Structure 1
Amino acid sequence: MKSFLHIAKREFGLLFHNKSMFIFAVILPFVSMLFFHTLLNNGVARDLPIAVIDLDNSSISRNIISQLDATPEIMVSYKPTSQLEGEALIKELKVYGLVTIPKKLGENLNQGKQVSIINQFNGNLLLPSGLENKAFKKAIGTVSAGINIQKQLKQGVNLNQAKANYQPINSNNHVLSNPYTNYSYYLNSGFLTLFFQIFVILTTIYCFGIDLKFNKGEKLYNIGKGNITTIILGKIVPYTLWFLLVGLVMYFTMFIIGDFPLNGNKTVVLLALFLLITASQAFAILFLAISSSFREALTFGSGFAAIGLSFSGITFPIFGMPKILQLMSQLFPYTHFFDLFLDQTQRGIPVFYSFNSIVFLVVLTILPILISFRKLTRLLKKGSFLQRI
């Protein structure tokens, strides 16, 4: 117990007096919270600039432009006079879409002919182009409905019947989990917790690695009286407690200040945070044990945490990946944490259905420690990494 307290007291001192440790564990976590909450402050992108080429210049074309401008997602910012000028605006990223209204649009519509309005957008920019295309379809659908209904009214059809004739089947949509379609609720949940994991891993690697880099591993081994369990706990428990506090602040910014949905079990949400910290620390210890240098351990840790974003399903759904990658995704603690987090915040499903994620996080906390135990023992006895970099 004395050995544990001696090591833990030393680590608490390093947390606030070691410059690199202070940056990893104190400065960067709070900077990342401020950055991401500021970046996605509005939740949903608004007034994305688009360009409209009006070759018809009729009352109907002007109405179409007004409808486009009225949608909250887009704003008509440019009115180029040629197709080349409009496409240049897209290539220069000055606009996210180019709408071309053809000649004789009003005349053809009055004659009962079908017309086409061209919408061009940059498919490489998934989010803005998706919003632009959605807003375009909504605006054109509104204009088309108005024209169709007006024609029926002129033929003596009453208003209700005209609406029913135009759209005999009406959709009744229910958005689950995120009814406001607020991008901050989903993306910030991912980015904040991912960067939180990165800081946990790097801090853990640093707290062990700095001793091994300067040949102090043997001294640490002697302080712990050769008990590796005491040494591991003495080194990581102070940072576990610290990052629990940081995680609670992160939750406060999300659920209290940011008003993120919290529809599930609050205790499980806290458990998920604790398991993410411990699993991340376990993998950090594994990377230390298998590395030949301090730099290599940091490289392994940062790379592992960054790749975890791709395997979590945020950027691409896991079930759409090849089978081998689906299996690999289960090796990342962040995959199970994020699934558990969404279950108990946005989806609000019973805890029973999140049990697998909890079990995986517990296993991914224990397994890396077991794998690295003997190698870490030899490393501490030796006192330093193979390479002094």
Structure 2
Amino acid sequence: MYAILRVARRELDYLLTRPIYLFGIIGAPLLVTLLLLYLMGSGLPTNMPVAVVDEDQSAPSRALVRNLDIFQSSEVVLKCSSMNEALRAMRQGKVYGIYHIPRGLQAEAGSARQPKLHYYTNSSYLMAGSFVFRDMKMLSELASAKVGLLTGQARGKTQEEIMGSIQPIVVRSEVMSNPQLNYAAYLTTTILPGVLQLMIFLMTSYAIGVEIKRKTAKEWLRLSEGSITLALLGKLCVHTLMFLAVGLGIQGILYGWMGFPLQSGWGAMALAMLLLVLASQALGIFFIALIPILRMGLSLGSLLGMLSFSISGMSVPVSSMIAPVQALAFIFPLRYYYQIGINQALIGAPLAESVPYYIGLLAFPLLPLVTLPRLKRYLTSIDYIA
């Protein structure tokens, strides 16, 4: 215990006198947190620009344009006289969608000749195109239902009879776990722990690698009485406490201040954060022990840390990946934290369903054990390779 405390006191002095530590452990994660939450403060993208080509210029067509502008995701910013003008605006990136109302809409609708509405979206911008498409499709379906309702009333039918023919089957949609459809509640609760995981990779590898580079490793081991295990425990316990405080602070911002869904309570996610910090530190040790050159260890941590965002299942479902990549997904702590977040925070599933993911995170600290002799050899007997 005395050896661990001596190393911890030395490491705390380093942390307080070198700004890079404080920025990497505290500044960078909190800065990304505030920036991302500011950018996604509305939960979903809103007021995405849309162009309208109204060739009918009738009361119903103008009502359609006003209704499209009311939708939260879409904003009519351009009224064009021709499709060529609207398409040119889309190619220039000024609008993400075009709503085309052909000439004769009112006349053809009144005579039951089935007029056609056209809408075009730029799916090069996947999210913007998808939301604009949803709004324009919904508006078109509502316009079709309104025409059917007016036609039926003109024929003397009751509203119940008309609705039975327009919508013979009523669909009731029940949104589970995220009823507000808040995209930020899904995205930020994974991206921000992923950023924290990345910084833990980097700072853990840096804290060990800099001992090799500056040739202070022997002094470090001397304080731990020659034990590489005690040396690592003393050095990283300070990092663990600080990273855990930052991680719990991020969770407090997400689930407390922002009010994102937390179905299972604080305990399950706090435990997941603790295990994420420990698992990420274990991988940071493994990286620098595998390649005991500071810049190479940092590069490996950066590569795998960034890769984990794509392969954790947050953006592309793991089940849709090829089998080797599905297996690769489970070498990242973020994958386990992501699954715990879905089960416990969003869905509120029984804790037993997340036990395998907790066990998976607990297995990571065993990984550096196989590389400790190699790391000690480099610390004591091999010169740093520039």
For the residue of structure 2 that corresponds to 1:79, the secondary structure is strand
* TM-score, length basis structure 2: 0.97
Which residue of the partner structure matches residue 364 of structure 1?
364
Kindly state the Cα deviation for residue 91 of structure 1 after the two structures are TM-superposed. 2.1
Note the alpha carbon deviations across 1:148-202, whole angstroms, 9 max, x for none.
0110111111012211221010001111111100011011112211111111111
Q: Which moved more, 1:162-171 or 1:222-231?
A: 222-231
Q: 2:379 is matched by which residue type in structure 1?
A: L
Q: Which runs of 5+ in 1 are unaligned?
A: none
Note the alpha carbon deviations across 1:104-129, whole angstroms, 9 max, x for none.
22222222122322211111212111
Which residue of the partner structure matches residue 52 of structure 2?
52
Runs of 4+ in 1 over 4 A off after TM superposition: none
Which residue of the partner structure matches residue 117 of structure 2?
117
For the residue of structure 2 that corresponds to 1:3, the secondary structure is helix
Kindly state the Cα deviation for residue 292 of structure 1 after the two structures are TM-superposed. 4.3
Which residue of the partner structure matches residue 381 of structure 2?
382
Which residue of the partner structure matches residue 126 of structure 2?
126
Note the alpha carbon deviations across 1:27-67, whole angstroms, 9 max, x for none.
11221111111111111222211000111212221121122
Check whether the contact 2:209–2:292 (CA below 8 A) recurs between aligned residues: no
Which residue of the partner structure matches residue 156 of structure 2?
156
| Cα distance in 1 for residues equivalent to 2:161 and 2:317 | 43
Alignment of 1:324-339 (within 5 A): 324-339=324-339
* TM-score, length basis structure 1: 0.96
| Cα distance in 2 for residues equivalent to 1:173 and 1:111 | 34
For the residue of structure 1 that corresponds to 2:49, the secondary structure is strand
Alignment of 1:258-277 (within 5 A): 258-277=258-277
Check whether the contact 1:218–1:383 (CA below 8 A) recurs between aligned residues: no
Which residue of the partner structure matches residue 182 of structure 2?
182
Kindly state the Cα deviation for residue 82 of structure 1 after the two structures are TM-superposed. 2.1
Taking only the aligned residue pairs, the percentage that are identical comes to 27
**Are the structure 2 counterparts of residues 349 and 181 from structure 1 closer, same or farther at C-alpha, using a change threshold of 3 Å?**
same
For the residue of structure 2 that corresponds to 1:208, the secondary structure is helix
Q: Does 1:233 align with 2:218?
A: no
Q: Which runs of 5+ in 2 are unaligned?
A: none
Kindly state the Cα deviation for residue 207 of structure 1 after the two structures are TM-superposed. 1.1
| Cα distance in 1 for residues equivalent to 2:281 and 2:60 | 63
| Cα distance in 1 for residues equivalent to 2:12 and 2:85 | 61
> For this pair of structures, how many residues does the alignment match?
386
Q: CA RMSD in A?
A: 1.3
Q: Does 1:66 align with 2:66?
A: yes
Which residue of the partner structure matches residue 256 of structure 1?
256
For the residue of structure 1 that corresponds to 2:259, the secondary structure is coil
| Cα distance in 1 for residues equivalent to 2:382 and 2:14 | 19
Which residue of the partner structure matches residue 102 of structure 1?
102
